[in-house]
Amino acid sequence: MKEKQNRASGTLSAVVVFGVPIRFHFTFILLLIFLLTAGFGGGKSVLYDIIFIVSLFAAVLLHELGHALVARIYGIKTVEIVMYPIGGVARLEREAAPVAELWIALAGPAVNVVLAIGLYGWLTLLSGWGQIERQLVDRIAVSNLYLAGFNMAPAFPMDGGRVLRALLALWKGEAAATRVASFVGRLLAMAMGIYGLISGHILLLLIAFLIYVAATQEGAASAGRALTQGIPVKAAMVTEFERLPHGSTIREASQRLLATTQQDFPVVHGERVIGLLDRQSFLRGMAIEGAETYVSQVMDRDFLSLDPLMNLAEALPLLTGNVSCALVMENDRLLGLLTRENISEFLLLRKLGIVEAQQGSTAQVLPEH
């Protein structure tokens, strides 16, 4: 089974550290360029400003690596670490058990506390250094303490919010714990946003907005996991779909796109699946290669495929970022498609108690050229 490792949209190529891909969002790069060219603070040397900025982002990266390394101890792989202007995000391949989540969440702030202690210890050895150098080290140490303290605020999905959820989950269960932690996160985000608006701290207002959105999304994701836990992928897959022969052109694919509601097409050579023409590759091929180009030239050969008996709750996190469709396959035999749209419909029907966890399997095939 192929497993395509999706990546967060808007990110640049990865740098691998301890086996974990580190990706930088383009907005992070723009912010870094702005800070390095504009300077940071008044009256201080630009060189020291640059050192402080780089050390601050390094502290954030080490914070996220702390999460990743502890997750590895519990057998959970980190898909990627994405660096954004307001911080980093370590994306794990699956949800951790409450005890594991507790230690994984605490690992990040613990790294910053250790860095701060080490820097203050270093200060005792800098008796021969100038006042500016000592202030720089002190400034970096304080920033690490701020990072640790800020991240431990119980605003889910920040580290403190995850600690809260992990503790609640020990006696309330994951779904109920997430609802409470998500509510607390939204509440604190609103309070933070109101304060930022009144005090004129635009950055704080932005952070509050992002926390509110993330808490809402995490709550929805938890509800989705509760509705899909123990249900196989085959129960939610699309079973009536069309395939494209490898000799089809983009023009022919566009005709099928308009004639049906289907947006993702498996590409086959005989009975063998050789690729997936999703909406993204279709648009890219149309714009760059032209309408008469064969779909086999622009299709995604590294498509995501899932086993029909795979837990649907485990499949949900895979359909994020640039991945909007997966092929459900059994021994190289195509059974169906799993898309974000039909998952949403399945969850709605499951919530209403209308649909059962079973489906058949049919497919239409375009004639070979």
233-365 is classed in which CATH architecture? Roll (3.10)
Token pair recorded at residue 130: 């100038």
In which element (H, E) is residue 80 found? strand 78-84
Confidence of residue 363 (pLDDT cuts 50, 70, 90): very low
Going by C-beta distance under 8 Å and a sequence separation of 6 or more, which residues neighbour residue 110?
66, 148
Distances from the Cα of 105 to the Cαs of 68, 143, 168, 171, in angstroms? 10, 19, 14, 18
Closest CA to 294 of 328, 263, 269: 269
pTM: 0.69
Beta bridge partners of 336: 328
Cα–Cα distance measured from residue 362 to residue 233, given in angstroms and rounded to the nearest whole number: 16
Domain boundaries, the chain: 1-152, 154-228, 233-365
Determine the pLDDT at residue 111: 96
pLDDT in tens, 249-296: 989 988 888 888 888 899 998 889 999 998 888 888 888 888 888 988
How would DSSP label each residue in 175-240?
Answer: HHHHHHHHHHHHHHHHHHHHHHHHHT-HHHHHHHHHHHHHHHHHHHHHHHHHHHTT-BGGGTSB-S
Give me the chain's average pLDDT, please: 82
Cα–Cα distance measured from residue 31 to residue 119, given in angstroms and rounded to the nearest whole number: 26
Distances from the Cα of 170 to the Cαs of 72, 109, 156, 158, 176, in angstroms? 21, 22, 17, 19, 11
Quick check: helix, strand or coil at residue 336? strand
pLDDT in tens, 51-96: 888 898 899 999 999 999 999 999 999 888 888 766 778 888 888 8
Determine the pLDDT at residue 362: 38
For residue 367, count CB atoms less than 10 angstroms from its CB and return exposed for 0-12, middle for 13-18, buried for 19 or more.
Answer: exposed
